[in-house]
C-alpha cells in the first residue's frame, strides 16, 4: 500500500525541459568564461569557480543520460558532448549508470558498477597497502581527497581490459570521448593559456572530489532494496550542485523525473519516503561530515555478499 501511494503520476517528458536546457547553457558559458579569463582574475577565485562548474556539468551529464532535457537522445548528448571534467567518457558513464539503476542489485560488488564494496574473496587477494587505501577511502576525508584517484584506477583498469577484448561499444565511447576532449584541451591550453596539468589538478580533479561528497553515502548495503538509497535534507547549495540527487531514494524510484521536480515529490510525502528508505536520512552534509569525516562509514567488504561468488551471490 505504501509503495502504491508513493507512485505519483509522472507526465511524459515535454518537448524541452527549459530549466535544464538553460542550466546546461549557463554552465557552458560560465566554464568558458572562467577558464578563458583565469589569467585576468585572481586565480583563487577563477579556478575554484571553474571546479564548481565542472561538478555541476557532471550532474547535468547525469541528468542527460536519464533522458533530459528533450525527447531526443542525440540532442541531449550533444548538449554535454564536451567533457570538461576530462576523466570519464559520457557514453561509458551512461551505460554503467543505467546498469547501476537495477535497484534490486544496488551495492552488489559484481552487479552494481558504481558499488564501493568488495566481495570477501576479492578483498583477500589484495595486498595490505591496498587494504589501507580502501579503508581510508571509506572515510569522508579520504573520499574527498583520494576518492577520485581510487575510482579512476579501478575504472581505467576495467576499461583497458574491455578495450583489449575488442568491445565495440566501449571503443565507440572512448573515440567519442577523444573527439570531445581535444577541443577542450585546445581551449584550455591555447585560448586560456592554462597548462593542462594545472587544469587537471586545480579544476578537473577538485570538481570530481566535490562530486564524491554526494556519492560517499548515497547507497548502503541493506537487505531491502528501497532502504539502500539516502535522503540528505537541508542543503540548498549542494542540492543545486547535485541537482537534488541528495534526495537519492526519490531519484531511484523516479529516474525519469527532472531534477527540479524531485523536491516536490519528496515534500508531498516526506514521512512515507523516510519510512520507505528505512530512515536512512541525514539533516545535511554537515551532519554527515561531523559523523564520518575521519571515521569509516561502511566496511569495504560487502556485509551481505560475504564469500559468495559472482554466480551464487544474492543480496536482495
Instruction: List Cα–Cα distances, 266 to 11, 260, 261, in angstroms.
Output: 17, 11, 9
DSSP secondary structure letter of residue 16: B
Cell, residue 209 = 572530489
Determine the pLDDT at residue 305: 82
CA distance linking residue 295 with residue 211, whole number of Å? 19
End-to-end Cα distance, the chain: 20
CA distance linking residue 58 with residue 80, whole number of Å? 9
Residue with cell 543480496: 315
Dihedral Cα 221, 111, 177, 32, nearest 10 deg: -20
CA distance linking residue 85 with residue 304, whole number of Å? 34
Q: What is the mean pLDDT of each run of 10 residues along the chain (316 residues)?
A: 48 82 98 95 95 99 98 97 98 98 95 96 96 98 98 98 98 99 98 97 98 97 96 94 98 97 97 96 97 97 76 52
3-state secondary structure (DSSP) of residue 151: helix
Cell, residue 189 = 591550453
Sign of CA dihedral 273, 245, 208, 223: positive
Determine the pLDDT at residue 4: 46
Determine the pLDDT at residue 307: 62
CB of 68 closer than 8 Å to CB of 13: yes
In b/e form, how buried is each residue of 64-103, taking b as 16+ CB within 10 angstroms?
bbbbbbbeeeeebbebbebbbbbbbbbbbbbbbbeebeeb
CA distance linking residue 62 with residue 208, whole number of Å? 13
Determine the pLDDT at residue 48: 97
Q: 117: alpha, beta or left, given left = phi > 0 and alpha = psi -120 to 50?
A: beta
Amino acid at each position: 500500500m505504501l509503495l502504491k501511494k508513493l507512485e505519483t503520476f509522472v507526465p511524459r517528458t515535454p518537448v524541452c525541459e527549459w530549466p535544464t536546457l538553460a542550466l546546461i547553457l549557463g554552465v557552458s558559458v560560465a566554464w568558458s568564461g572562467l577558464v578563458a579569463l583565469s589569467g585576468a582574475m585572481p586565480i583563487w577565485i577563477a579556478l575554484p569557480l571553474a571546479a564548481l562548474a565542472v561538478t555541476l556539468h557532471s550532474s547535468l551529464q547525469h541528468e542527460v543520460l536519464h533522458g533530459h532535457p528533450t525527447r531526443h537522445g542525440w540532442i541531449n548528448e550533444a548538449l554535454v558532448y564536451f567533457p570538461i571534467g576530462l576523466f570519464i567518457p559520457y557514453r561509458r558513464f551512461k551505460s554503467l549508470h543505467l546498469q547501476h539503476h537495477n535497484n534490486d542489485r544496488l551495492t552488489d560488488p559484481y552487479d552494481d558498477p558504481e558499488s564501493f564494496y568488495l566481495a570477501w574473496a576479492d578483498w583477500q587477494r589484495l595486498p595490505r597497502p591496498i587494504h589501507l587505501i580502501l579503508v581510508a577511502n571509506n572515510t569522508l576525508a579520504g573520499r574527498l581527497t583520494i576518492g577520485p584517484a581510487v575510482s579512476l584506477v579501478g575504472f581505467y583498469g576495467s576499461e583497458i581490459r574491455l578495450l583489449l577484448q575488442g568491445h565495440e561499444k566501449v571503443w565507440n565511447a572512448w573515440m567519442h570521448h577523444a573527439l570531445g576532449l581535444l577541443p577542450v584541451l585546445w581551449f584550455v591550453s591555447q585560448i586560456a593559456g592554462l597548462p593542462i596539468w594545472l587544469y587537471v589538478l586545480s579544476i578537473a580533479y577538485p570538481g570530481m572530489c566535490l562530486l564524491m561528497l554526494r556519492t560517499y553515502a548515497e547507497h548502503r548495503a541493506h537487505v531491502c532494496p528501497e532502504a539502500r538509497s539516502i535522503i540528505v535534507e537541508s542543503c540548498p547549495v549542494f542540492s543545486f550542485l547535485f541537482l537534488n540527487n541528495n534526495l537519492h531514494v526519490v531519484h531511484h524510484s523516479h529516474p525519469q523525473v527532472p531534477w527540479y521536480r524531485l523536491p516536490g515529490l519528496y515534500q508531498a510525502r516526506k514521512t512515507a519516503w523516510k519510512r520507505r528508505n528505512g530512515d536512512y536520512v541525514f539533516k545535511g552534509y554537515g551532519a554527515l561530515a561531523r559523523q564520518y569525516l575521519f571515521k569509516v562509514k561502511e566496511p569495504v567488504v560487502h556485509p551481505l555478499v560475504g564469500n559468495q561468488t559472482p554466480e551464487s551471490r544474492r543480496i536482495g
